[in-house]
Amino acid sequence: PSDRSADIGVDDLAESADPHAYDLCERHGQRFAAPSGWRLEDRRNRFRVVLPSQLAG
């Protein structure tokens, strides 16, 4: 057993793919939990800006 700890960061989705990251939907991002002994840092932006060009219609 190791006494080292590890960190996990949860970020907003990136504009481009990152081979060292995994994308989670909103629901699974909310439910995500770090393994025992690890530290979870939620770095997601709490407020979202939606531009008119991003709206359907």
- Dist. CA 20–CA 8, nearest whole Å: 12
- Structure confidence by residue, pLDDT tens digits, 1-56: 556 679 999 998 888 888 988 888 888 888 999 999 999 999 988 887 777 887 87
C-beta atoms surrounding 24 within 10 Å = 13
Query: What pLDDT, on a 0 to 100 scale, did the predictor assign at position 2?
Result: 59
At residue 29, the pLDDT reads 86
pTM (predicted TM-score)? 0.59
**List of E strands, the chain:** 7-10, 39-42
